């Protein structure tokens, strides 16, 4: 198989995508929201986080109110226009030359009481048609109002973009800064995927909410308040009627959302399971083939697929009920208002334009109400995201460096462990009373079965972890009396999991020392026997290493990290020999380069090569996290202990074992 599995499981953990629908505002809203543990507290904190943006945020509110005010004025102005037109028509029907009062009196005399009352409430000049000058004036105002509404809406969005982006920028920066101060323990105890998702998905989620939902909420509230004012100013009675019907929309929405949530959860779960099954079936294709499991794999797929179908159909259908239901309620509202309004227009209590404006307002009322109901859901998941980000920001940081640090000059590389005690967790002591004396230039080989905890020593030396008791000294100075940065500069590290970043080969080698010249970089590459290889690449030292540096082999990567260590020119080395996946020739180069690097330097080698181990001055044998034996090859062989077994097993072949 030629695909990179590990990369797969990171990237392809195919989460069901959020369906952003074009139809029905309720869809996204009906997604299940994760609940925050402390909703109030986190919300408060998030608001506090917005504080530096208080001024622009205030502007956003002002702009929103202005925009909404103008938007809300529009139907009223249209109503006036209608009145103007209506008055014109009515005026035309009345004989010219009489006054309005005369006309009313005449109508009353003819028994047309209702019409008379209606006209009395209107601006009518008998015999005269529509006053187009007046209409033009009204419409000019309308144009101005519309333009202003649009203008302020734009300003509001424009300003909010700044608020949102600046806040998120700060959030990302703070998280990044925090990550630099967290002890390695945090990294070792939390899956990278989890940390990454806090920094990326959760922050993006917050960004989106800040950009979209906050303005929507402000907007919705402004609209509800504004519309209510307008409605009551037109007709308190009609408003009361509407206020009975409209909350029903809210109830319907809430009801449907609650109903559909469980199906959305089911949809997420089942889609996740299905995608997982697809992923493992495709990546493990040859295993399925050679074990003849196609039928069973298909059978399981069909079952999972059916579950996805069931859940997504129901989720889709139920959430799509919101719209027609609300439309229906809106129409009921409309008819009722028409009836009651009609009666009132007839009796002259209200104008025709007034009824029309009222209808428009009542239509505007439901939308924000439904919107707020949906945003609450989105807000919940945002707060949950914020909580996770804040949790990270609250993690305990590394113990600060000592106040009067000792700076070692001319490091010789004399490393001493004196009565060192260490454990990752309090109840499981790992290293007890360890003593080790490594003279300058000596090589320490750390050996042991897989998972024996060989990296523990590295963690302690580099002060990635703090020891519980005792002390570790370099040239007689306790490492805790140095600044961490100074301490780490003494060390050079070549690990088996070669870490190279997305950048050129030159930059990657130069990582070893700030401000290295090209000559130094090339010299380091040459020392690590990788110069030749680099020059065979089309772009040479400017070759960009892809993510996970998949364009060069594992062996070459290790050589590059050796070059990096050469450039850093450390006094003490930590080396991790590769176990496998390196071809013969590169393997020889790596061995040679490592040997060269070790020369004259105190070295700690996590060793897999017997030749390295045998040549070491001190061998530390580790098992189950503990150091169980210590000495040189001859001593340990003579002791006939764990090391002896380990060493002899190298030659333990079935044939020879039978003979022995």
Site for other proteins in 58-117 (CB under 8 A): 74, 78, 81-82, 84-86, 88-89, 92, 114-115
3-state DSSP call for residue 284? coil
Q: Which one, 301 or 421, has the nearer CB to other proteins?
A: 301
Report the site for other proteins in 388-417 (rule: CB under 8 A): none
Among residues 26, 413, 453, 512, the one that binds other proteins under rule CB under 8 A: 512
Among residues 99, 102, 200, 569, the one that binds other proteins under rule CB under 8 A: 200
Handedness of CA 283, 267, 35, 159 (dihedral sign): positive
Q: Which one, 81 or 415, has the nearer CB to other proteins?
A: 81
Residues 6+ apart with CB under 8 A from 198: 175, 388, 389, 391, 392
Q: For other proteins, which stretch binds (CB under 8 A), given 6-14, 218-226, 371-379, 467-475?
A: 6-14
For the bound state, the minimum distance from the C-beta of residue 419 to other proteins, rounded and expressed in Å, comes to: 26
Among residues 38, 583, 624, 640, the one that binds other proteins under rule CB under 8 A: 583
Q: The tokens of 321 are what?
A: 């009920």
* Owner of token pair 């925050």: 36
Report the site for other proteins in 630-659 (rule: CB under 8 A): 645-646, 649-657
Q: Which one, 25 or 380, has the nearer CB to other proteins?
A: 25
Q: What is the DSSP letter of 541?
A: G
Q: Is 154 in the site for other proteins (CB under 8 A)?
A: yes
d(C-alpha 84, C-alpha 76), whole Å: 12
Strand order in the sheet with 415-422: 431-438, 415-422, 469-474, 477-478
* Owner of token pair 């009345």: 94
Among residues 169, 402, 535, 635, the one that binds other proteins under rule CB under 8 A: 169
Q: Which one, 175 or 477, has the nearer CB to other proteins?
A: 175
Q: For other proteins, which stretch binds (CB under 8 A), given 371-379, 420-428, 487-495, 526-534?
A: 487-495
Q: In the chain, what is the straight-line distance between the N-terminal and C-terminal CA atoms, in Å?
A: 40
For the bound state, the minimum distance from the C-beta of residue 35 to other proteins, rounded and expressed in Å, comes to: 25
Annotate 611-637 with DSSP letters as a single string. HHHHH-SEEEEEETTEEEEEE-HHHHH
Q: How many residues bind other proteins (CB under 8 A)?
A: 174
d(C-alpha 578, C-alpha 580), whole Å: 6
d(C-alpha 277, C-alpha 289), whole Å: 16
Among residues 352, 415, 444, 524, the one that binds other proteins under rule CB under 8 A: 352
Q: How far is CA 610 from the centre of its chain?
A: 46
For the bound state, the minimum distance from the C-beta of residue 641 to other proteins, rounded and expressed in Å, comes to: 13
Q: Which one, 43 or 141, has the nearer CB to other proteins?
A: 141
d(C-alpha 451, C-alpha 622), whole Å: 9
Q: The tokens of 186 are what?
A: 């945090």
For the bound state, the minimum distance from the C-beta of residue 420 to other proteins, rounded and expressed in Å, comes to: 20
For the bound state, the minimum distance from the C-beta of residue 45 to other proteins, rounded and expressed in Å, comes to: 21
3-state DSSP call for residue 357? helix
Q: Is 158 in the site for other proteins (CB under 8 A)?
A: yes
Rounded to a whole number of angstroms, the CA Rg of the chain reads: 38
CB 9 within 8 Å of CB 276: no
Q: Phi and psi (nearest 5°) for 418?
A: -120, 115
Report the site for other proteins in 528-567 (rule: CB under 8 A): 547, 553, 555, 564
Q: Helix, strand, coil shares of the chain as percentages rounded to 5?
A: 65, 10, 25
Q: The tokens of 250 are what?
A: 């809210």
CB 487 within 8 Å of CB 527: no
For the bound state, the minimum distance from the C-beta of residue 40 to other proteins, rounded and expressed in Å, comes to: 29
Q: Which one, 383 or 590, has the nearer CB to other proteins?
A: 590
DSSP-derived pairing of the beta strands 443-447 and 618-623: parallel
Q: For other proteins, which stretch binds (CB under 8 A), given 223-231, 423-431, 442-450, 533-541?
A: 442-450
Q: For other proteins, which stretch binds (CB under 8 A), given 43-51, 95-103, 159-167, 367-375?
A: 159-167
3-state DSSP call for residue 573? strand
d(C-alpha 84, C-alpha 351), whole Å: 11
Q: Is 120 in the site for other proteins (CB under 8 A)?
A: no
Q: Which one, 99 or 200, has the nearer CB to other proteins?
A: 200
CB 619 within 8 Å of CB 630: yes
Q: Which of 570, 564, 568 has its CA nearest to residue 545?
A: 564
250-277 burial by CB neighbour count: b if 16+ within 10 A, else e? bebbeebbeebbebbebbbebbbbbbeb
For the bound state, the minimum distance from the C-beta of residue 42 to other proteins, rounded and expressed in Å, comes to: 22
Q: Which one, 78 or 562, has the nearer CB to other proteins?
A: 78
Report the site for other proteins in 254-313 (rule: CB under 8 A): 274-294, 297-298, 301-302, 305-306, 308-309, 312-313
CB 218 within 8 Å of CB 57: no
Q: What is the DSSP letter of 577?
A: -
Report the site for other proteins in 18-37 (rule: CB under 8 A): 19, 21-23
For the bound state, the minimum distance from the C-beta of residue 602 to other proteins, rounded and expressed in Å, comes to: 16
Q: For other proteins, which stretch binds (CB under 8 A), given 321-329, 365-373, 522-530, 535-543?
A: 321-329
Q: Is 569 in the site for other proteins (CB under 8 A)?
A: no
Among residues 185, 488, 596, 626, the one that binds other proteins under rule CB under 8 A: 488
Q: Which one, 289 or 518, has the nearer CB to other proteins?
A: 289
Among residues 132, 189, 406, 600, the one that binds other proteins under rule CB under 8 A: 132
Report the site for other proteins in 589-628 (rule: CB under 8 A): 591, 609-611, 614
Q: Is 504 in the site for other proteins (CB under 8 A)?
A: no
């Amino acid at each position: 198989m030629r695909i990179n599995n590990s990369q797969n499981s990171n990237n392809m953990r195919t989460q069901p995508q959020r369906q952003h629908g074009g139809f029905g505002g309720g869809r996204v809203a009906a997604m299940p929201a994760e609940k925050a543990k402390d909703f109030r507290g986190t919300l408060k904190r998030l608001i506090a986080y917005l504080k530096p943006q208080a001024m622009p945020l205030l502007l956003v509110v002002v702009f929103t109110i202005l925009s909404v005010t103008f938007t809300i004025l529009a139907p009223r102005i249209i109503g006036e226009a209608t009145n103007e037109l209506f008055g014109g028509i009515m005026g035309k029907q009345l004989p010219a030359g009489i006054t309005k009062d005369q006309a009313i009196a005449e109508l009353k005399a003819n028994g047309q009481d209702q019409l008379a009352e209606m006209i009395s409430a209107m601006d009518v000049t008998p015999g005269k048609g529509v006053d187009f000058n007046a209409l033009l004036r009204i419409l000019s105002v309308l144009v101005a109002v519309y333009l202003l509404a649009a203008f302020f809406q734009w300003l509001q969005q424009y300003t909010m973009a700044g608020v949102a982006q600046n806040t998120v920028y700060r959030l990302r920066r703070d998280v990044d800064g925090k990550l630099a101060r967290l002890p390695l323990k945090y990294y070792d105890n939390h899956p990278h995927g989890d940390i990454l998702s806090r920094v990326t998905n959760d922050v993006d989620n917050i960004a989106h909410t800040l950009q979209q939902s906050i303005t929507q909420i402000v907007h919705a509230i402004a609209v509800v308040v504004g519309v209510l004012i307008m409605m009551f100013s037109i007709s308190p009675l009609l408003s009361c009627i509407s206020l009975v019907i409209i909350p029903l929309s809210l109830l319907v929405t809430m009801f449907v959302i609650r109903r559909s949530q469980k199906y959305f959860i089911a949809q997420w779960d089942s889609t996740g399971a299905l995608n997982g099954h697809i992923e493992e079936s495709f990546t493990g294709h040859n295993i399925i083939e050679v074990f003849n499991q196609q039928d069973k794999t298909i059978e399981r797929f069909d079952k999972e697929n059916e579950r996805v179908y069931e859940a997504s159909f129901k989720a889709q259908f139920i959430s799509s009920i919101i719209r027609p239901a609300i439309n229906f309620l809106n129409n009921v509202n409309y008819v009722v208002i028409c009836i009651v309004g009609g009666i009132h227009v007839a009796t002259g209590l209200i104008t025709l334009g007034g009824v029309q404006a009222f209808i428009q307002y009542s239509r505007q009322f439901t939308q924000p109400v439904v919107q707020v109901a949906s945003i609450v859901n989105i807000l919940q998941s945002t707060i949950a995201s914020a909580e996770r980000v804040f949790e990270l920001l609250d993690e305990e940081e590394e113990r600060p460096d000592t106040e009067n640090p000792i700076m070692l000059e001319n490091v010789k590389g004399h490393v001493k462990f004196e009565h060192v005690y260490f454990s990752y967790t309090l109840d499981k002591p790992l290293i007890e009373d360890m003593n080790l004396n490594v003279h300058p230039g000596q090589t320490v080989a750390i050996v042991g079965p897989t998972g024996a905890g060989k990296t523990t020593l590295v963690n302690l030396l580099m002060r990635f972890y703090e020891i519980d008791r005792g002390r570790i000294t370099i040239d007689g100075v306790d490492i805790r009396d140095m600044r961490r940065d100074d301490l780490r500069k003494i060390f050079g590290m070549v690990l088996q999991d070669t870490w190279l970043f997305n950048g050129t080969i030159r930059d990657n080698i130069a990582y070893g020392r700030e401000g290295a010249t090209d000559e130094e970089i090339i010299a380091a590459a040459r020392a690590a026997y990788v110069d030749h290889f680099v020059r065979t690449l089309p772009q040479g030292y400017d070759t960009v290493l892809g993510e996970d540096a998949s364009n060069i082999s594992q062996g070459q990567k290790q050589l590059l990290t050796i070059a990096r260590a050469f450039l850093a020119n450390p006094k003490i080395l930590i080396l991790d020999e590769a176990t496998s996946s390196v071809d013969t020739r590169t393997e020889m180069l790596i061995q040679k380069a490592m040997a060269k690097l070790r020369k004259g330097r105190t070295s700690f080698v996590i060793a897999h090569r017997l030749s390295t181990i045998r040549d070491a001055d001190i061998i530390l044998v580790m098992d189950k996290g503990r150091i169980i034996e210590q000495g040189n090859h001859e001593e340990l062989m003579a002791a006939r202990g764990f090391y002896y077994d380990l060493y002899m097993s190298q030659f333990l072949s079935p044939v020879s074992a039978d003979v022995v």
